[in-house]
C-alpha cells in the first residue's frame, strides 16, 4: 500500500500571531478527509506586537531570514502570513515580496513557491469574479484605508468597511471566531459580489464564513481561506474543502 504524500506547509508569521497557525491547519486537516495528501506545518517568526505602520515595516525586513529558515526544512510552499504588513509597504508590493522570498529559497537550493496573504486575498477575490466587496478588519482606520487603497489599486472596489480599531495584536487573536457573524450584519452588502469576513490574518473568523455566506447568499472569504486556496493552487492540488465558503468549493 502506497503511503500518502506528506506536504510541508511553511509560514512566516508575526511573533504575536496565533491564528494562521490555527486556521490553516484546521482547513487542511478537513481536506484530508477528501484527498490522500497529508500536511505538516512549520513556522518562522518576525517580531511584532502592535499593529502600527512603523512596526509592520520593521517586521517585514525580517522576512528574508524567515524564508531561509523555512527553506532549510525544505517546505513545499511558503506563506507570508501578514496581510497588512505587505499592504503597508506600497501598492502591489505582494509581487515584490513573493519574488524576493522565492529568490531566497532558490539561493538556499530549496526552491519553494511563495504566497503572501495580501496577494492571496487579491487573487481569491479575482478567482470568484468579484468586482465589489465589503470587508471587516480589526485595524485602526488608517490601516484599513491602506487595505482599501491596495485592493482598489488591483481593480477591486470596496463598497463598505468596518474597522474595529484594535492595535494590540494579541487582543485581536482573542476575539471569538463567531464574532464576525453579527458584526458583518452592519456591512452594506447590496450589489456587493463578496464579503471579506476578516481582512486580517490574526482576527479569527473561520467558523463564521459559511454562516455568513448562507445568510447573505453571496461568497464570503477570509485571509486564511484565501491563503490556503492560493497555497493549494501553487501546489497543483484540488481546492475543494467543504464548509469554508465558495472559494474552497472546488469550483475555482
Instruction: Identify whether residues 18 and 106 lie together within a single domain.
Output: yes
Q: Which range of residues forms the domain containing residue 139?
A: 121-222
pLDDT score recorded for residue 85: 85
Q: Which CATH number does the domain housing residue 102 bear? A: 3.40.50.12500
Whether the pLDDT of residue 1 is over 80: the answer is: no
Instruction: Identify whether residues 109 and 12 lie together within a single domain.
Output: yes
Q: Using one digit for the tens of pLDDT, what is the confidence trace for 65-80?
A: 999 999 999 999 999 9
17 is in an annotated binding site: yes
Instruction: Identify whether residues 135 and 78 lie together within a single domain.
Output: no
H/E stretch holding 231 reads helix 223-235
The SS3 assignment for 158 reads strand
Q: Residue 1 domain-assigned?
A: no
Q: What's the whole-number mean pLDDT along residues 87-97? A: 93
57 is in an annotated binding site: no
Q: Which three cell numbers stand for residue 87?
A: 499592504
Give residue for cell 488591483.
154
Q: Residue 66 domain-assigned?
A: yes
Q: Residue 243 domain-assigned?
A: yes
Instruction: Identify whether residues 114 and 229 lie together within a single domain.
Output: yes
Active site residue 82: yes
221 is in an annotated binding site: no
The SS3 assignment for 224 reads helix
Whether the pLDDT of residue 94 is over 60: the answer is: yes
201 is in an annotated binding site: yes
From first CA to last CA, the distance across the chain in angstroms is: 31
Backbone φ and ψ for 9, nearest 5 degrees, come out as -100, 120
Strands, sheet with 157-163, edge to edge from the N-terminal-most edge strand: 157-163, 132-137, 194-198, 220-222
The number of helices, as runs of H, and strands, as runs of E, in the chain is: 11, 8
Task: Between 14 and 131, name the one with better pLDDT.
Answer: 131
Task: Between 27 and 167, name the one with better pLDDT.
Answer: 27
% pLDDT > 90, the chain: 83
pLDDT score recorded for residue 58: 75
pLDDT score recorded for residue 169: 81
Instruction: Identify whether residues 236 and 137 lie together within a single domain.
Output: no
pLDDT score recorded for residue 245: 97
Whether the pLDDT of residue 52 is over 70: the answer is: no
H/E stretch holding 12 reads strand 6-14
Domain count, the chain: 2
Instruction: Identify whether residues 17 and 106 lie together within a single domain.
Output: yes
247 is in an annotated binding site: no
Cα–Cα distance for residue pair 161/188, rounded to 1 Å: 8
pLDDT score recorded for residue 50: 63
Instruction: Identify whether residues 201 and 167 lie together within a single domain.
Output: yes
Q: What's the whole-number mean pLDDT along residues 176-202? A: 96
Backbone φ and ψ for 144, nearest 5 degrees, come out as -60, -35
Instruction: Identify whether residues 110 and 141 lie together within a single domain.
Output: no
Task: Between 242 and 89, name the one with better pLDDT.
Answer: 242
Handedness of CA 141, 54, 92, 244 (dihedral sign): negative
Q: Using one digit for the tens of pLDDT, what is the confidence trace for 22-49?
A: 999 999 999 999 999 999 999 999 877 6
The catalytically annotated residue of 82, 143, 166, 197 is 82
Q: Using one digit for the tens of pLDDT, what is the confidence trace for 139-148?
A: 999 999 999 9
Whether the pLDDT of residue 51 is over 90: the answer is: no
Instruction: Identify whether residues 79 and 128 lie together within a single domain.
Output: no
Backbone φ and ψ for 51, nearest 5 degrees, come out as -85, 80
Count of alpha carbons within 13 angstroms of residue 111, beta-carbon side: 4
Q: Residue 206 domain-assigned?
A: yes
Q: Residue 131 domain-assigned?
A: yes
Instruction: Identify whether residues 114 and 180 lie together within a single domain.
Output: no
Instruction: Identify whether residues 50 and 88 lie together within a single domain.
Output: yes
Strand partners, 39: 7
The catalytically annotated residue of 48, 115, 200, 209 is 200
Task: Between 61 and 224, name the one with better pLDDT.
Answer: 224
Cα–Cα distance for residue pair 186/168, rounded to 1 Å: 23
Instruction: Identify whether residues 134 and 169 lie together within a single domain.
Output: yes
Q: What's the whole-number mean pLDDT along residues 110-125? A: 97
Sequence-ordered list of residues with C-beta below 8 angstroms from that of 109, at least 6 positions apart, any chain:
none
pLDDT score recorded for residue 30: 97
Active site residue 200: yes
Q: Using one digit for the tens of pLDDT, what is the confidence trace for 155-166?
A: 999 999 999 999
Q: What's the whole-number mean pLDDT along residues 169-181? A: 93
Amino acid at each position: 500500500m502506497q503511503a500518502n504524500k506528506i506536504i510541508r506547509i511553511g509560514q512566516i508569521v508575526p511573533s504575536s500571531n496565533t491564528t494562521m497557525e490555527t486556521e490553516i491547519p484546521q482547513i487542511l486537516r478537513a481536506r484530508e478527509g477528501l484527498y490522500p495528501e497529508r500536511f505538516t506545518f512549520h513556522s518562522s517568526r518576525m517580531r511584532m506586537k502592535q499593529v502600527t505602520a512603523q512596526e509592520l515595516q520593521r517586521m517585514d525586513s525580517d522576512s528574508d531570514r524567515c524564508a531561509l529558515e523555512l527553506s532549510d526544512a525544505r517546505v513545499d510552499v511558503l506563506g507570508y502570513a501578514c496581510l497588512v504588513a505587505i499592504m503597508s509597504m506600497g501598492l502591489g508590493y505582494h509581487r515584490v515580496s513573493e519574488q524576493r522570498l522565492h529568490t531566497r529559497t532558490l539561493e538556499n537550493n530549496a526552491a519553494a513557491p511563495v504566497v503572501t496573504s495580501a496577494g492571496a486575498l487579491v487573487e481569491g477575490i479575482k478567482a470568484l469574479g468579484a468586482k465589489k466587496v465589503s470587508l471587516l478588519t480589526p485595524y485602526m482606520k488608517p490601516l484599513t484605508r491602506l487595505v482599501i487603497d491596495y485592493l482598489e489599486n488591483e481593480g477591486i472596489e470596496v463598497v463598505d468597511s468596518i474597522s474595529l480599531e484594535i492595535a494590540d495584536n494579541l487582543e485581536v487573536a482573542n476575539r471569538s471566531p463567531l464574532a464576525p457573524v453579527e458584526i458583518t450584519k452592519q456591512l452594506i452588502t447590496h450589489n456587493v459580489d463578496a464579503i471579506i469576513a476578516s481582512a486580517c490574518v490574526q482576527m479569527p473568523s473561520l467558523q463564521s464564513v459559511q454562516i455568513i455566506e448562507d445568510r447573505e447568499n453571496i461568497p464570503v472569504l477570509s485571509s486564511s481561506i484565501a491563503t490556503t486556496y492560493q497555497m493549494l493552487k501553487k501546489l497543483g492540488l484540488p481546492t475543494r474543502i467543504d464548509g469554508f465558503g465558495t472559494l474552497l468549493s472546488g469550483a475555482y
